[in-house]
């Protein structure tokens, strides 16, 4: 498990996806079909995202799975505006 929450961790990259999506922690978790506590544990590095969560992240937010897991590859820059700018629905990274 990736227990360090530094710039090189899956946890920090997961958190950056949520931050860039402009969703609340609860809404982000719901967009992935997981409980907010599970999402929070991933964000804090207490658990690794499951294979299903990884697939949902790629599909919902268009992230590069290689970047998420290793920190190498295409770095997401911003959301794509699918939320209309109000931060209430899932925006892609």
Q: Give per-residue burial for 50-65: e unless 16+ CB within 10 Å, then b.
A: eeebbebbeebbebee
Q: Does residue 26 register a pLDDT over 90?
A: yes
Q: Is residue 82 part of a domain?
A: no
pLDDT band at 91 (very low <50, low <70, confident <90, very high): very low
Q: Identify the weakest region by mean pLDDT among 4-8, 64-68, 69-73, 81-85.
A: 81-85
Q: Supply the mean pLDDT for the chain.
A: 80
Q: Does residue 84 register a pLDDT over 60?
A: no
Q: Give per-residue burial for 21-43: e unless 16+ CB within 10 Å, then b.
A: bbbeeebbbebbebeeebbbbbb
| Structural domain for 18, as ranges | 10-70
User: Could you tell me how far CA 57 lies from the centroid of its own chain?
Assistant: 6
Q: Is residue 50 part of a domain?
A: yes
Q: Is residue 76 part of a domain?
A: no
Q: Is residue 2 part of a domain?
A: no
Q: Cβ(85)–Cβ(72) under 8 Å?
A: no
Average pLDDT over residues 20-40: 96
pLDDT band at 88 (very low <50, low <70, confident <90, very high): very low
d(CA 93, CA 59): 11
Domains in the chain: how many in total?
1
d(CA 89, CA 21): 9
């Amino acid at each position: 498990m990736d227990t360090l929450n530094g710039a090189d961790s899956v946890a920090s990259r997961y958190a950056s996806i949520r931050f860039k999506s402009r969703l609340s922690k609860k809404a982000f978790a719901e967009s992935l079909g997981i409980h907010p506590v599970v999402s929070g544990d991933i964000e804090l590095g207490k658990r690794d995202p499951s294979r299903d969560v990884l697939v949902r992240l790629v599909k919902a937010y268009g992230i590069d799975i290689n970047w998420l897991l290793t920190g190498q590859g295409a770095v997401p820059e911003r959301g794509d505006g699918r939320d209309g700018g109000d931060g209430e629905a899932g925006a892609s990274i």
